[in-house]
Structure 1
């Protein structure tokens, strides 16, 4: 549950299959490793170890950390979808993500156009905004279902080890 805790045990086979030379090198490498392991279908065990912190000060600059790691996680998310659900094996989940993202994006663009048309062109807002909201809602629901199905499909790959 806390990959930044600093405890990682990995088999030689798994290490050889994740491309260690291409792993993220900053404080987010453990998240990068987990994404690569998931995409390759490797099992992961969560071993509960309490985090013990002393009086030391963190050297992490959080503005840089959040920006860099968020970007890496977003890139990894799309990479994992491509590799796991399109390249290695086709899974209909990819269509849920694609349809959801396209529909939500179209709804968002339509909503922005509706506001622009109302403010600049003085056009009526209700029908355009309602259709845009419907598209955005349907797209968001498809994305949420895709995430739910994605979690269920990966549930068997994670093991909880409690002491």
Structure 2
């Protein structure tokens, strides 16, 4: 889908701004005619990004929004989402203001949504292995670990690069997100995937190149590891409860608790018997070992079966298309 095909759509861009004064003007200048409106969100920026854009930028598409307090990238994006929805945008694209994201890719991110193939698209810098040479090794490892954790917590097993902030969303889907519950800061990109899974929205990765310049990241890995782990665990248990016990019941609803119970029994029983035998200086009987190993193996098989079911359950029918089809059915009735 080319830019001419997108020109009739109301594609809005949201740019959260915090300490990006040296890059923001070039980012805005890079957007093509397919972009309908550009929302610059000054997240209580100490550099006064919002005021600078108002003075330096003459593009009539630009609207500057201000957060009274610093809310983080998630809070800034949510402010932009709300305004874009209120103004009648059909697609909302989020682009960082630090110059790492190519503004010309807006049409690439919007196209799968406009074709009815996805509700939400996000960038993936890991498609081209040659391009990965430009990415620091520590960042590659960190993204791999975070991606694996995100697959468990969000349920989108086919996605990678969860911290990539280049995203696009259909306005009808964004309208149904719980804005007051989504994490405001660095966990935002991952948390929104969890919320989208609860809506059963379809999410697609969009290949993009990794670009690094002289910008300095505000993200400190050592400070967010504990927070990310805690929130991933919280989202995982919430998703499992919502999707497999509250909203629906399936064979997987039985496989997980039975598998966990069997593994726990086998492990605790085996450990107890081993400690008892060790304290007496005796050899643990083969029958006792088997009585411990069998439930562990059975439990492992059930848990793997649950994971296989969960992988196959990744949403495939776009959420906003279901709304369109429902409206058509009601109209034709």
TM-score, length of structure 2 as denominator length: 0.43
1:141 partner SS: helix
Name 2:327's counterpart in structure 1.
Answer: none
**1:5–1:51 CA contact under 8 A, matched in 2:** no
1:67 aligned onto 2:237: no
1:130 aligned onto 2:290: yes
CA pair 118-3 structure 1, distance change in 2 beyond 3 A: same
Tell me the matched-pair count.
Answer: 158
CA pair 62-108 structure 1, distance change in 2 beyond 3 A: farther
Structure 1 counterpart of 2:303, from 143, 149, 155: 143
How far did residue 58 of structure 1 move? 3.6
CA distance in 1, matches of 2:197, 2:183: 16
Name 1:79's counterpart in structure 2.
Answer: 238
**Larger helix share, 1 or 2:** 1
CA pair 51-132 structure 1, distance change in 2 beyond 3 A: same
2:253 partner SS: helix
> For each residue in 1:71-100, what CA deviation from the matched residue of structure 2 results, as whole angstroms up to 9, or x when unmatched?
211211111111112112222211111111
How far did residue 3 of structure 1 move? 2.5
**Larger strand share, 1 or 2:** 2
CA distance in 2, matches of 1:154, 1:64: 31
Structure 1 counterpart of 2:210, from 28, 34, 51: 51
TM-score, length of structure 1 as denominator length: 0.83
How far did residue 8 of structure 1 move? 1.6
1:90 aligned onto 2:252: no
1:105 aligned onto 2:264: yes
Structure 2 stretches of 5 or more lacking a match? Answer: 1-159, 319-333
CA pair 4-111 structure 1, distance change in 2 beyond 3 A: same
> For each residue in 1:48-90, what CA deviation from the matched residue of structure 2 results, as whole angstroms up to 9, or x when unmatched?
2222122444433323322221221121111111111211222
Larger Rg, first or second structure (1 or 2): 2
1:24 aligned onto 2:183: yes
> For each residue in 1:21-40, what CA deviation from the matched residue of structure 2 results, as whole angstroms up to 9, or x when unmatched?
11123322211111221122
Structure 1 stretches of 5 or more lacking a match? Answer: 159-163
Q: CA RMSD in A?
A: 2.2
CA distance in 1, matches of 2:237, 2:258: 14
